[in-house]
A and B are shown apart, each in its own frame.
Chain A
Amino acid sequence: MEDEVRISINSDADLVAARAEGRAMAERLGFPRPDPTLIATAISEVARNIVVHVGRGEIVLRPLEEADRYGLVVIASDNGPGIRDIEAALRDEYSGRGGLGLGLPGARRLMDDFDVASDADTGTTVTMRKWRYRDELARLREERRRRA
């Protein structure tokens, strides 16, 4: 299995690299279109959140393997002051500094799993995953099971 990729985020120019790395890994892992674009867009949003709100941080991209599905996890972390109200930050109308209100809820809609952990001491970590079932039937069964 391929190794993780780490991209340190220090300025808006690093977003370009983060997007490209995310797309490249998604393509290598076999994600069909339009998933590589959705993943790159979500990475762009969480990376920009780091640049605008904290200034520096890191993005880690890591492949995921399970019996019936493969995936990619994006972990965006910083040591900033934390997000005071995570629920609000994930609502569409929320607009933090820089008017980035759309960023997090938009990124969440592009990915399958999305978690934000944040406090004033340790900073903020956004973890988001995109999955692809090896077998489309298995995916439909899984969806049914979840709905039931």
Chain B
Amino acid sequence: MSVAILRQGAYLIASIQSDLSDTEVIQLRHELSELVGRYRSRGIVIDVAALEVIDSFVARSMRSIVLTAKLRGAETVIVGIQPDVAIAMVQFRLNLEPLRVALDLDAAITLLDRLTRRDAEDGG
């Protein structure tokens, strides 16, 4: 599959390497949900910079990945939405709730650190 998934501490980093077919997007959801359980990951970063199109299916799948991961105990942050893709998404009026986005990997990790710390405090 054209997604590289790396493990970094308590987080999973999924880098999409090229445009994905719908089947591959669905595979990515299964795989991330499985890996969150296997590694007890607290957070996921999905790098979508290689996606030249985010249409209604991809947007819906991203939401589904976020919600599935949340039920498995992990927060998700999307990074790298291309400028033209962002314009297309707005013009399309795609519903992006409850996606959390960050500009790059560093910002995503900072955001995840904050989100997962807050969860830990809530739990304690």
Residues of A within 8 A of B (CB): 12-13, 15-16, 19-20, 23, 33-34, 36-38, 40-41, 44-45, 48, 51, 92, 99-100, 102-103, 106-107, 109-110
CB distance from B122 to the nearest CB of A (A): 33
User: B39 contacts the other chain (Cβ, under 8 Å)?
Assistant: no
Please tell me if the beta carbons of B91 and A109 are within 8 angstroms of each other in the complex: yes
Instruction: For B22, give its contact among A12, A45, A109 (CB under 8 Å).
Output: A12
A interface, over-half SS: helix
Interface residues of B in 65-88 (CB under 8 A from A): 82-85, 87-88
Interface residues of B in 56-106 (CB under 8 A from A): 56-57, 60, 82-85, 87-88, 91-95
Residues of B within 8 A of A (CB): 19-23, 52-57, 60, 82-85, 87-88, 91-95
CA distance A81 to B94 in the complex (A): 28
When A and B form their complex, what is the total count of cross-chain residue pairs whose Cβ atoms lie within 8 Å? 71
CA distance A100 to B22 in the complex (A): 13
Chain A to chain B: the 9 pairs with minimum beta-carbon distance, closest first = A34-B84, A37-B84, A12-B22, A106-B92, A102-B56, A44-B55, A34-B87, A13-B21, A41-B88
CA distance A99 to B95 in the complex (A): 14
- Among B22, B54, B56, which residue has the most Cβ atoms of chain A within 10 A? B56
CA distance A103 to B59 in the complex (A): 11
CA distance A15 to B20 in the complex (A): 9
Instruction: For B55, give its contact among A13, A34, A45, A99 (CB under 8 Å).
Output: A45
Please tell me if the beta carbons of B21 and A100 are within 8 angstroms of each other in the complex: no
Instruction: For B53, give its contact among A37, A99, A100 (CB under 8 Å).
Output: A37
CB distance from B111 to the nearest CB of A (A): 26
List chain B residues, Cβ under 8 A from A12: 21-23
CB distance from B60 to the nearest CB of A (A): 8
List chain A residues, Cβ under 8 A from B91: 38, 109-110
